[in-house]
C-alpha cells in the first residue's frame, strides 16, 4: 500500500506581521494568494496566528464554512451573534458551523499573547443552521498518542451538543487529531478504509516562536512501508496521499517534544 509525502515548508507559507497579529497561511488567504495552495480536499484554511495581548479580530461575518480554533498557548476570548461568549485555554477547541451566517470576534484574553490555529473547511451541504461547540482536551490525552479533536457528524463518539466529551462535530469529511510526541517516539497512523484513495495533511506547530525564515525547533520524520520518508521541522507541513488502510509513521527525531496536528480527508 503506497503513501506519498509532499512537503509544505514553513518559509514558503504566506505570512504577515501586522504588529498586533503575526500570522502564517498554509493556503491562499487575505492578501496571500497562491494558485498551487488553494485548498486540499475540503480543507480550505490553516492559519497559525499569534495575537498580542489586548488586541484581536473585531466582529466580522462568516457563512458556509466550518470554522474551528485550536488554542496552543495563552487564552482566546470568543464572542458571537448566537450569544456565545467564553474564554478558551490551551488544548481547547471551539467549532463554529457558520451555515447561513454568523458574526463573531476573537481576542487575546489577559496580559499574554495567544497562539492558536484557525482552521476552515468546506461543509458537505449548504444552508445549515448555525451552531457552536466547545471541547476541552488535556495534555495526557495527547501524550504520545493521537487525540481525536474534531470528527464528522454521525461518527462514533461524536455528540452534537454545545459542551460534551469526545471530538467536536463538523459537517465536513474531515477528522482532526493532535499529539505531543516525545523524543525518539514513533506514532503510527492508518488511513481510513474508504474511499480507495485518501488524503491527509500534517502540520508541526511552530512552538519556537514566530519565524518567517527557514523552520527550526523540533523535528519529526514521516515514513511509509513502501520506503518514502520526509523530515519536517516546526512550522513545516506535508500533503499526504495514500491508499485506503495504508499506514505511515510519525517519529520525533528531535531533542524535545513535538506538537503535531493531523487532518484525515476524503
Q: What confidence tens digit (pLDDT) does each residue in 6-20 have?
A: 999 999 999 999 999
Report pLDDT for 141: 98
Query: How many Cα atoms within 13 Å fall on the side-chain side of residue 173?
Result: 13
pLDDT at 214 over 90: no
- Of 149, 123, 17, 144, nearest to 70 by C-alpha is 149
pLDDT at 140 over 90: yes
- Do 246 and 198 meet the contact criterion of CB atoms below 8 Å apart? yes
Residue 86, all three cell numbers:
467564553
Report pLDDT for 216: 85
Distance CA 152, CA 246 (A): 21
- Do 24 and 211 meet the contact criterion of CB atoms below 8 Å apart? no
Report pLDDT for 1: 80
- Do 113 and 51 meet the contact criterion of CB atoms below 8 Å apart? yes
pLDDT-based confidence at residue 2 (cuts at 50, 70, 90): very high
Residue 24: in which H helix or E strand, if any? strand 21-25
- Of 264, 259, 265, 262, nearest to 91 by C-alpha is 259
Report pLDDT for 135: 98
Q: What mean pLDDT do residues 32-56 have?
A: 98
Q: What mean pLDDT do residues 113-132 have?
A: 97
For all residues of the chain together, what is the average pLDDT?
A: 97
pLDDT at 95 over 90: yes
- For 66, 144, 172, 194, the CA distances from 43, given in Å and listed in that order, are 10, 25, 9, 18
- φ and ψ of 109, to 5 deg: -100, 135
Residue recorded with cell 513535538: 258
- Tell me, yes or no, if the pTM score tops 0.85: yes
Report pLDDT for 215: 83
Amino acid at each position: 500500500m503506497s503513501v506519498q509525502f509532499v512537503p509544505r515548508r514553513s518559509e514558503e507559507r504566506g505570512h504577515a506581521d501586522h504588529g498586533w497579529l503575526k500570522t502564517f497561511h498554509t493556503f491562499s488567504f487575505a492578501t496571500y494568494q497562491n494558485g498551487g495552495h488553494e485548498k486540499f480536499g475540503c480543507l480550505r484554511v490553516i492559519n497559525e496566528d499569534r495575537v498580542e495581548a489586548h488586541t484581536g479580530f473585531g466582529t466580522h461575518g462568516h457563512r458556509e464554512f466550518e470554522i474551528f480554533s485550536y488554542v496552543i498557548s495563552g487564552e482566546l476570548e470568543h464572542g458571537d451573534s448566537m450569544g456565545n461568549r467564553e474564554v478558551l485555554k490551551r488544548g481547547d477547541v471551539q467549532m463554529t458551523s457558520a451555515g447561513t451566517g454568523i458574526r463573531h470576534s476573537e481576542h487575546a484574553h489577559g496580559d499574554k499573547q495567544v497562539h492558536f490555529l484557525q482552521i476552515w473547511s468546506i461543509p458537505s451541504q449548504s444552508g445549515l443552521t448555525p451552531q457552536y461547540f466547545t471541547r476541552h482536551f488535556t495534555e495526557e490525552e495527547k501524550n504520545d498518542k493521537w487525540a481525536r479533536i474534531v470528527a464528522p457528524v454521525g461518527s462514533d463518539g461524536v455528540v452534537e451538543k454545545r459542551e460534551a466529551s469526545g471530538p467536536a462535530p463538523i459537517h465536513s469529511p474531515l477528522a482532526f487529531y493532535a499529539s505531543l510526541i516525545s523524543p525518539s517516539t514513533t506514532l503510527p497512523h492508518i488511513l481510513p478504509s474508504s474511499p480507495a484513495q485518501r488524503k491527509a495533511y500534517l502540520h508541526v506547530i511552530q512552538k519556537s516562536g514566530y519565524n518567517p525564515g527557514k523552520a527550526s525547533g523540533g523535528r519529526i520524520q514521516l515514513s511509509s512501508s513502501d520506503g518514502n520518508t520526509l523530515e519536517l521541522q516546526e512550522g513545516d507541513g506535508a500533503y499526504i496521499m495514500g491508499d485506503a488502510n495504508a499506514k505511515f509513521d510519525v517519529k520525533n527525531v528531535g531533542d524535545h517534544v513535538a506538537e503535531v496536528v493531523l487532518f484525515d480527508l476524503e
